C-alpha cells in the first residue's frame, strides 16, 4: 500500500518562451521523484502583473500553460505548485518575465 501525501517539493526547471508581445508559454518539470509523494494530478500556476499588482491563478494537468492577453513590454512574476489527490505542495520560487515590445511604432 502506497501512502499518498501532498508533494513535499515544488515543480522544477521553470522556464518561459515568448510567442508574441502578449503571449508566452510557461513550462516546468515534475517535483523531484522523492518529493512527489504520489502521482501528480494537477498544477496551480500563480501569475502576478508587477505593474498593477493583480494576481491570477490557473489550474492545469499539463506541465505547460499558455498565457495570452498579456500587456506588451510588461513584467510578470509566476510560480507553480503541484498537487496529488490529497492537495497542493509548496510553490516553486518565483520567476520574472517581461513580455516583448508590441512592434507598433508611430
pLDDT for res 4: 76
Query: Looking at the chain, which runs of residues are DSSP E strands?
Result: 12-20, 23-29, 42-49, 55-60, 64-67, 75-83, 88-91, 95-98
In this structure, what DSSP letter does residue 79 have? E
Q: What is the topology classification, in CATH, of domain 12-98? A: Immunoglobulin-like (2.60.40)
pLDDT for res 102: 76
Query: Looking at 40-92, which runs of residues are DSSP E strands?
Result: 42-49, 55-60, 64-67, 75-83, 88-91
Reported as a single tens digit per residue, the pLDDT across 44-99 is 999 999 999 999 999 999 999 999 999 999 999 999 999 999 999 999 999 999 99
pTM, rounded to two decimals: 0.91
Cβ contact 97:65 at 8 Å: no
Q: Is the pLDDT of residue 104 over 90?
A: no
Amino acid at each position: 500500500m502506497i501512502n499518498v501525501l501532498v508533494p513535499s517539493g515544488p515543480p522544477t526547471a521553470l522556464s518561459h518562451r515568448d510567442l508574441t508581445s502578449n503571449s508566452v508559454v510557461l513550462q516546468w518539470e515534475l517535483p523531484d521523484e522523492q518529493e512527489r509523494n504520489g502521482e501528480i494530478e494537477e498544477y496551480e500556476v500563480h501569475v502576478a502583473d508587477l505593474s498593477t499588482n493583480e494576481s491570477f491563478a490557473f489550474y492545469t494537468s499539463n506541465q505547460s500553460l499558455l498565457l495570452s492577453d498579456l500587456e506588451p513590454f510588461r513584467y510578470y512574476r509566476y510560480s507553480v505548485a503541484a498537487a496529488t489527490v490529497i492537495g497542493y505542495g509548496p510553490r516553486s520560487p518565483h520567476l520574472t518575465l517581461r513580455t516583448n515590445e508590441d512592434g507598433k511604432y508611430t
